[in-house]
């Protein structure tokens, strides 16, 4: 295998910026893979009793392939089923289990809209408890809940004022059949609740996890001797056993809060591993390899600043000073520029590129999408004007590439702007001195490294709109310096944000019409889910037709989506830019970075399907001028659902930092909403919002270990080294993800 594969193998999991020194440590690690593969932990879960090929496939969707994976597929929460509650005793907001029988079941209308809920009335001798489902097949549920059948119903109790009764939404239900073999796994004790995927029942996961515990002793202790004692933590096998199978008397509230010793141990180990990887990376990178110094005189800096038609904000100036100080030294810059959407990162990026150009070196800007690359290209050429440095665009759809590539290699191109096309083979620079990577969370770490390698230790500036919370920044970017743009360019007013239920659609459409009547423009965005791109696209296209024919009839609409040829996409964006289109209907291609100040409305269809980070990014597309802007979140959801909570966050604040913190604390260990929006490493149990103190300790320990034993050759570090290698084994088999 080529060495790059190892590097990319690491990337998706730990998100480490790959660097030269690291590769050596990694190739050592990879030699250990074979050895690791021999334990039972590496065997596919089908090897366990009760797990067939179909189940195995479902487990795979959860990232669980081997027995070892399963042991680390940890419960999200716990339920106390050691005692059942009577319905009359149920308290609102509590998780509880009742033993009850079905009295009635059926679908019924919900509110005034067209949507329906499925409701089952459960009864015991003390009262009635209603269970409701919002997404359902009526036929399946009717068959599942025949009148008179007996059930164990668990979930969080709420109270519905209109129905005048206690309700559990989407409860966990199990047939109350004492003779069932799995019964003891599911009731009569503190029961773990695992993350699931469609089609995989809770019971099956419990059973499989329990079966896997037979091999728990094979899980190696990665903590060096004495460490568990120092922190008063149990050994890993005990911790896993008790976390999957809490023995009688274990403290439910500690388990729920993830503060039991057992959970702390697993959190510590996971963070230790990530921090050791990071420390190795740093140790490797520390070899002082000189980069090209790009000295900038104050006069040159002034000249660069005067390129812009506006005075830079204080924050922009500060960031530029920091960058200038970095690049004038010969240690390659490795800086993260963090600034909320609209804070003016692009200006800073261009100024940084000019520092290279003034020193006779080339610069490159890599953007995650073609639309963005094109936009950067246009803005930059406009700002630099005629007779300035030569700027070229590199995207995969560009036909006449040969000439541009040649010019790049000869050094005739000063600034190369492009997509990942920039890192393809055949792209050669004469003397790349500085690299800017925009919206880095879209790129894999490996890709970043690729671009950097095109230059001799080029200076690197990474830009992100993600306001990364401190704890997270420390883990993800432990080896980057950070500049923050914490000041918005003047004259912005906060975007008015509101949630619209399906029944309120007309009111939202009215806002679009009003704005268009005032000469403004609007975006309508559709979620495009990757797995079923085709279906979603069909939905977007149909919706577009509907908008054009009905909802927004009479306005000038255009559609753009990822499946369009890029020339067509460009054409649409251009028409929108020239004001020839009132409403741009788009899949999430406009998600990042598009800058068009005349757009004042962002309507987000199915806002309930978007994550907080995406919603924030989308909203950031409007409100870029002085005019009042609107964000219309069209959503079909219900109070108390995770989606509802996300939307509440959106309406309560526009501060990207607050949103990031909320997001981090809402998504916990299981990363429930799937997409890793912040580029979070795939932690299984650690939650950086919650476990900041453990992280700090793990970090200390990790850095001491690597300082004392940089190649991890000491016998007491062998398990740690093997654990790191194990991560690679997994990734090598799956191949590169990004
Ligand atoms: P970001 O990339 O951080 O989301 P941009 O760089 O796209 O933000 O800037 C957003 C908008 O603000 C652009 O239209 C840009 O021209 C403008 N802008 C940037 N800096 C300033 C400034 N100092 N004063 C006024 N407008 C600015
Ligand atoms: Mg931007």
Non-local CB neighbours of 115 within 8 Å, separated by 6+ positions: 109, 134, 502, 636
User: Mind listing the pLDDT tens digit for each residue in 230-253?
Assistant: 999 999 999 999 999 999 888 988
DSSP 224-275: PTTHHHHHT---HHHHHHHHHSPPTT--HHHHHHT-SHHHHHHHHHHHHHHH
Cβ(347) to ligand 1 under 6 A? yes
Mutate to test the pocket of ligand 1, among 312, 339, 341, 342 (most ligand atoms within 8 A of CB): 342
Ligand 1 midpoint to CA 308 (Å):
10
- Give the chain's count of helices (H) and strands (E): 27, 21
| Percentage, residues of the chain above pLDDT 90 | 38
Average pLDDT over residues 350-379: 91
Ligand 1 midpoint to CA 223 (Å):
48
Lowest pLDDT segment from 135-144, 341-350, 519-528, 529-538: 529-538
Q: In the prediction, which pLDDT does 651 show?
A: 94
Give me the chain's average pLDDT, please. 81
List residues bridging with 130 in a β-sheet.
121, 167
Q: In the prediction, which pLDDT does 446 show?
A: 54
Domains of the chain with CATH codes: 78-193 (2.40.50.140), 298-485 (3.40.50.300), 495-653 (3.40.50.300)
Region for residue 15 given its phi and psi (left: phi exceeds 0; alpha: psi -120 to 50; beta: otherwise): left
Which of 153-176 are b and which e, b meaning 16 or more Cβ less than 10 Å from the residue's Cβ? bbbbbbeeeeeeebbbbebbbbeb
Non-local CB neighbours of 256 within 8 Å, separated by 6+ positions: 77, 78
Q: What is the value of pTM for the model shown?
A: 0.59
Mutate to test the pocket of ligand 1, among 311, 344, 350, 440 (most ligand atoms within 8 A of CB): 344
Ligand 1 atom closest to 597 (CA): 14
Cβ(436) to ligand 1 under 6 A? no
Q: Identify the band that residue 590 occupies on the pLDDT scale cut at 50, 70 and 90.
A: low
User: Mind listing the pLDDT tens digit for each residue in 709-723?
Assistant: 988 999 999 999 888
Cβ(369) to ligand 1 under 6 A? no
Q: Identify the band that residue 679 occupies on the pLDDT scale cut at 50, 70 and 90.
A: very low
Q: In the prediction, which pLDDT does 11 show?
A: 27
| Percentage, residues of the chain above pLDDT 70 | 80
Nearest CA to ligand 1 atom 5: 344
Tokens of 571: 């054409």
Average pLDDT over residues 570-592: 83
User: Mind listing the pLDDT tens digit for each residue in 292-302?
Assistant: 899 999 999 99
Ligand 2 midpoint to CA 372 (Å):
8
Q: Identify the band that residue 601 occupies on the pLDDT scale cut at 50, 70 and 90.
A: very high
Which of 637-653 are b and which e, b meaning 16 or more Cβ less than 10 Å from the residue's Cβ? bbeeeebeebbebbeee
State which of 105-114, 661-670, 700-709 shows the largest mean pLDDT: 700-709
Whether the predicted pLDDT of 450 surpasses 90:
no
Angle at the Cα of 443 (from 442 to 446), degrees rounded to 5? 160
Place of tokens 């800096």: 301
Q: In the prediction, which pLDDT does 274 show?
A: 83
Nearest CA to ligand 1 atom 18: 344
Ligand 1 atom closest to 341 (CA): 4
Whether the predicted pLDDT of 497 surpasses 70:
yes
Q: What phi and psi values does residue 308 have, to the nearest 5 degrees?
A: -90, 145
Cβ(242) to ligand 1 under 6 A? no
- CA pair distance 372, 84, nearest whole angstrom: 57
Average pLDDT over residues 672-691: 56
Ligand 1 midpoint to CA 336 (Å):
18
Whether the predicted pLDDT of 731 surpasses 70:
no
Whether the predicted pLDDT of 181 surpasses 80:
no
Side-by-side strand order, sheet with 521-526: 496-500, 630-634, 599-604, 521-526, 583-587, 557-560
Q: In the prediction, which pLDDT does 130 show?
A: 93
Whether the predicted pLDDT of 143 surpasses 80:
yes
Q: In the prediction, which pLDDT does 675 show?
A: 33
Whether the predicted pLDDT of 733 surpasses 60:
no
Whether the predicted pLDDT of 484 surpasses 70:
yes
């Amino acid at each position: 295998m080529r060495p790059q594969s190892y590097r990319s193998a690491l990337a998706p999991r730990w998100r480490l910026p790959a660097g030269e020194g690291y590769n050596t440590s990694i190739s050592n690690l990879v030699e250990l893979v074979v050895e690791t593969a021999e334990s039972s932990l590496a065997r596919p879960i089908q090897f366990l009793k009760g797990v067939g090929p179909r189940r195995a496939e479902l487990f795979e969707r959860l990232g669980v392939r081997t027995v070892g994976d399963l042991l680390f597929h940890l419960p999200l929460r716990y339920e106390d089923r050691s005692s059942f509650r009577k319905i009359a005793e149920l308290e609102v907001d509590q998780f509880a289990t009742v033993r009850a029988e079905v009295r009635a079941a059926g679908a019924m209308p919900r509110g005034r809209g067209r949507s329906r809920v499925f409701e089952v009335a459960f009864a015991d001798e003390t009262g009635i408890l209603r269970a409701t489902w919002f997404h359902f097949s009526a036929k399946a549920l009717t068959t599942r809940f025949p009148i008179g059948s007996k059930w164990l119903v668990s979930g969080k109790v709420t109270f519905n004022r209109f129905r005048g009764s206690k309700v559990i939404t989407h409860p966990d239900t199990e047939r109350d059949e004492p003779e069932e073999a799995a019964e003891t796994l599911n009731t009569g004790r503190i029961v773990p609740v695992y993350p699931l995927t469609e089609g995989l029942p809770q019971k099956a996961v419990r059973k499989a996890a329990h079966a896997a515990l037979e091999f728990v002793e094979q899980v190696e202790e990665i903590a060096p001797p004495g460490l568990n004692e120092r922190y008063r933590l149990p050994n890993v096998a005990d911790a896993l056993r008790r976390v999957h199978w809490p023995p009688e008397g274990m403290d439910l509230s500690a388990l729920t809060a993830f503060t039991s010793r057992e959970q702390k141990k697993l959190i510590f180990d996971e963070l230790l591993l990530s921090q050791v990887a990071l420390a190795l990376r740093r140790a490797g990178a520390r070899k002082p390899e000189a980069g090209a110094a790009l000295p900038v005189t104050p006069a040159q800096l002034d000249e660069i600043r005067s390129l812009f038609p506006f005075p830079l904000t204080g924050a922009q100036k500060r960031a530029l000073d920091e960058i200038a100080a970095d690049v004038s030294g010969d240690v390659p810059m490795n800086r993260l520029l963090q600034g909320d959407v609209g804070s003016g990162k692009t200006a800073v990026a261009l100024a940084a590129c000019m520092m290279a150009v003034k020193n006779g070196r080339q610069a490159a800007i890599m953007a995650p999408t073609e639309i963005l690359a094109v936009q950067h290209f246009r803005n930059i050429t406009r700002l630099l004007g005629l007779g300035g440095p030569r700027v070229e665009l590199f995207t995969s759809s560009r036909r006449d590439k040969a000439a541009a590539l040649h010019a790049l290699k000869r050094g005739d191109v000063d600034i190369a702007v492009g997509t990942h096309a920039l890192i393809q083979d055949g792209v050669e620079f004469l003397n790349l001195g500085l690299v800017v990577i925009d919206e880095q969370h879209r790129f894999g770490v490996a890709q970043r490294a690729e671009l950097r390698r095109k230059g001799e230790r080029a200076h690197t500036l990474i830009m992100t709109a993600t306001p990364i919370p401190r704890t997270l920044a420390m883990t993800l970017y432990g080896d980057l310096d950070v500049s923050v743009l914490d000041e918005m360019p003047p004259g912005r007013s906060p975007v008015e944000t509101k949630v619209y239920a399906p029944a309120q659609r007309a009111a939202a459409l009215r806002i679009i019409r009003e704005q268009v009547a005032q000469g403004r423009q609007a975006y309508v965005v559709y979620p495009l889910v990757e797995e079923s791109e085709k279906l979603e696209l069909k939905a977007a296209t149909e919706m577009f037709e509907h908008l054009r024919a009905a909802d927004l009839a009479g306005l000038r609409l255009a559609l753009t989506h990822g499946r369009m040829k890029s020339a067509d996409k460009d054409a649409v964006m251009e028409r929108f830019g020239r004001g020839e289109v009132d409403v741009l209907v788009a899949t999430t291609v406009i998600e990042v970075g598009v800058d068009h100040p005349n757009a004042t409305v962002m309507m987000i269809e199915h806002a309930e399907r978007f994550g907080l980070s995406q919603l924030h990014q989308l909203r950031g597309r409007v409100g870029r001028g002085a005019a009042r802007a609107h964000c219309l979140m069209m959503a079909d959801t219900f109070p108390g659902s995770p989606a509802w909570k996300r939307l509440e966050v959106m309406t309560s604040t526009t501060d990207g930092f607050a949103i990031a913190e909320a997001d981090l604390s809402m998504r916990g260990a299981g990363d429930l909403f799937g997409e890793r929006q912040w580029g979070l490493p795939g932690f299984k149990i650690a939650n950086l919002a919650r476990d900041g103190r453990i992280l700090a300790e793990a970090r200390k320990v990790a850095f001491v270990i690597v300082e004392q034993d940089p190649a991890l050759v000491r016998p007491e570090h062998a398990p740690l080294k093997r654990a790191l290698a194990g991560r690679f084994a997994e990734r090598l088999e799956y191949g590169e993800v990004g």
